[in-house]
Amino acid sequence: MPGTPGDARQLRSGGSLNGHVRVPGDKSISHRALLFGAIAEGKTTIEGLLPAEDPISTAACLRAMGAEISAVADGQIITVEGVGLDGLQEPSEVLDCGNSGTTMRLMLGLLAGRDGRHFVLSGDDSLKRRPMQRVGQPLSMMGAEVRGRGQGNFAPLAVQGRKLRGAVVGTPVASAQVKSALLLAALTADGTSTVIEPAHSRDHSERMLKAFGADLDVGGEMGRHITIRPGARLHGQHVVVPGDISSAAFWLVAGALVPGADLTVENVGLNPTRTGVLEVLAQMGARIEVLNQHDVAGEPVGDLRVTHGSLKPFRFGEEIMPRLVDEVPILSVAACFCDGESRITGAAELRVKETDRLAVMARQLKAMGADIEEHPDGLTIRGGRPLKGAQLDSETDHRVAMSLAVAALMAKGDSTLVGSEAAAVSYPTFWTDLERLQR
Ligand code: S3P
C-alpha cells in the first residue's frame, strides 16, 4: 500500500460496507485538552486523545515551552504536567504548527499575554496561506501585539507578549478557533472580558475551561456571549475524548450511499454545536439511529448506526454552517448520488480551510463526471448521474482525501488518489478501516 507522498493509492469501487468502526478522538477536544492541561496546575491525563499529526503539532509546541507531555500514541493515556497559568517559557526555536490552523490560532491567544516573552509561529505551505488577522485583530483590542506578513495576516507570525487588558470583543467570524484564542488570552488579562460571536460556534473550549476551574459564564442569545473573569487557577483534570463526528461523517455518508451497507460508528461525540451533519442527513432521508446515548466528561456521546437507503437532495446555508463546517466536502459527495439539485450557500469559510475546499471538491468531483457548479459562497450539485473512476488528488487536504475515497466507492470503475497520506492529519487509520469494512 502506498504511504509515501506522491504515490497514488488505488481506490476500489463497489463492494459493500459492513461492521463496526471506532473513529479516533475528536480533534478539537484533543487540542484543547493538551493546551488547557499545559497551563493548569498539576497533572492532566487524557484518554482517547487523537494520535494524529495536528494534535502532535500542538503537543510539540507546548513541549518547546516547557510542558512535559508523554508521547502521543494510539491507545495510550497521555499525561500533561501543567506549568500553571504563567509558567510557559520563551521557546528558543520557531513553534511549528504543521498543517494545523487550530494549533496556530489557539497558540496566538495563549501566548499574547505572556508579558515580556517573544514567540514565532509558523507551519506548512497550506497554513502559511491561511488568514490569521481574524485572531490578531480582536486580540489587539486587548493590547496584544501580533505581527506577520500581509499586515499580520500570514505566518510566520511573531508574538510579543504583553500584559493584556480585559475587554468586550466581538469576533469577525463565527469561528471556534478565534473565540478560543480570545478566551485563552482573557485568562490572564487584567480584568473581565466578554467575547461575542456573530453565531454560536462549537463550544468545547467553554465546557472544558469550566471543568478545569476557569471563572466563565455563557450567556446571551444561543450562548454567543462568553464572559471570563481572570484570576481563577486551572487544575489538572482527567479528560475523556469522544470519537470525532467529523471523522464519523465519512462512514455515515458511505453507509447511507453504498447498497447493502450496515455500519455502526461507535463512541461518537454528539455535542449539539457539531451535529449539523446529522440534521442534513436526516433531511435527506438517511437511515441513522443514535444508540447508547450518554454523557462522558461533560460531552454527549453515542453510537451511530447507518444503513443504506435512497437519499433526497438537500439545501443548507449560513445558519447551520458553524455546526457542519468540516462536513461540507463529504456532503458534497453525498449530493452527487441523490436525484435532483442540492444547494450549499453561506460556505465562503470553506475557501480558507486547509485548501479552498469549494474549488478543490468541485474540481475533483468534476474529474469523476459530476455536474457541480461553484459559487463564491457555495456549490450547486445536480446529482443522479453516475460518477466514473478517475485519477484524483487530495491537493494535500485530509478531508478532501477521505471524501474522495467515499466518492470512489460509488463510482463506476476504480480510481487512484494522489496525496492520500493527508488523511493522517486527522484520521491516521482511515485507510486500514476502509480496507477492513469494504467487502
Ligand atoms: C475548529 C474549528 C473550526 C474547524 C476546525 C477545528 C476548532 O474552524 O473547521 O477544523 O477546533 O476550533 P473555525 O473555527 O475556523 O470555523
pLDDT, tens digit, for every residue of 65-124? 999 999 999 999 999 999 999 999 999 999 999 999 999 999 999 999 999 999 999 999
DSSP codes of every residue in 218-245: EESGGG-EEEEETTPPPB--EEEPPBPH
pLDDT of residue 221: 80
Q: Is the dihedral of CA 269, 275, 281, 285 positive or negative?
A: positive
CB of residue 325 inside a 6 A radius of ligand 1? yes
Mean pLDDT of 158-184: 97
- Contact by Cβ (8 Å): 350, 317: no
| 415-418 and 391-393 beta bridge pairing | parallel
Task: Tell me whether residue 276 is exposed, middle or buried, using C-beta atoms within 10 angstroms of its C-beta: 0 to 12, 13 to 18, 19 or more.
Answer: buried
Closest CA to 370 of 319, 420, 326, 404: 404
220 pLDDT tier (thresholds 50, 70, 90)? confident
Q: What are the DSSP E strand ranges found in 12-115?
A: 18-22, 41-47, 68-69, 78-83, 95-96
CB of residue 103 inside a 6 A radius of ligand 1? no
CB of residue 175 inside a 6 A radius of ligand 1? yes
The catalytically annotated residue of 54, 244, 303, 326 is: 326
CB of residue 33 inside a 6 A radius of ligand 1? no
pLDDT of residue 272: 97
Q: Give dist(CA 410, CA 256) in Å, integer.
A: 11
- List all residues 6 or more positions away from 88 whose beta carbon is below 8 Å from its beta carbon: 38, 39, 62, 65, 66, 67, 110, 111, 114, 117
Quote the longest CA-to-CA distance of the chain. Answer: 62
Q: Give dist(CA 405, CA 9) in Å, integer.
A: 10
Q: Give dist(CA 56, CA 65) in Å, integer.
A: 15
pLDDT of residue 6: 62
Taking the centre of ligand 1 as the mean of its atom positions, its distance from the CA of residue 399, in whole angstroms, is 13
Q: Is the dihedral of CA 314, 320, 324, 325 positive or negative?
A: positive
CB of residue 28 inside a 6 A radius of ligand 1? yes
Task: Tell me whether residue 210 is exposed, middle or buried, using C-beta atoms within 10 angstroms of its C-beta: 0 to 12, 13 to 18, 19 or more.
Answer: middle
**Given the CA of residue 176, which atom of ligand 1 is nearest to it?**
14
Q: To test ligand 1's pocket by mutation, which of 99, 177, 321, 351 has the most ligand atoms within 8 angstroms of CB?
A: 177
Closest CA to 133 of 117, 116, 155: 155
Q: To test ligand 1's pocket by mutation, which of 102, 104, 204, 245 has the most ligand atoms within 8 angstroms of CB?
A: 102
The CA-CA-CA angle for residues 264, 268, 272, to 5°, reads 125
210-224, 252-266, 403-417: least confidently modelled range: 210-224
pLDDT of residue 2: 38
Q: Would you say residue 358 has pLDDT above 60? A: yes
Taking the centre of ligand 1 as the mean of its atom positions, its distance from the CA of residue 326, in whole angstroms, is 8
Taking the centre of ligand 1 as the mean of its atom positions, its distance from the CA of residue 102, in whole angstroms, is 6
Grid coordinates representing 42? 498539576
How many other CB atoms sit within 10 Å of the CB of residue 229? 16
DSSP state of 400: H
4 pLDDT tier (thresholds 50, 70, 90)? low
The CA-CA-CA angle for residues 130, 135, 137, to 5°, reads 115
CB of residue 397 inside a 6 A radius of ligand 1? no
Give the gyration radius of the chain's Cα atoms.
21
Q: State yes or no: is 326 an active-site residue.
A: yes
Q: What would the pLDDT profile of 38-79 be if each residue is shown by its tens digit?
A: 999 999 999 999 999 999 999 999 999 999 999 999 999 999
For all residues of the chain together, what is the average pLDDT? 97
Taking the centre of ligand 1 as the mean of its atom positions, its distance from the CA of residue 177, in whole angstroms, is 5
Q: Give dist(CA 401, CA 247) in Å, integer.
A: 12
Between the alpha carbon of residue 148 and those of residues 88, 132, 161, 311, 348, the distances in Å are 22, 9, 15, 46, 24
Q: Is the dihedral of CA 244, 214, 105, 72 positive or negative?
A: negative
Grid coordinates representing 243? 470519537
Q: Would you say residue 264 has pLDDT above 70? A: yes
DSSP state of 287: E
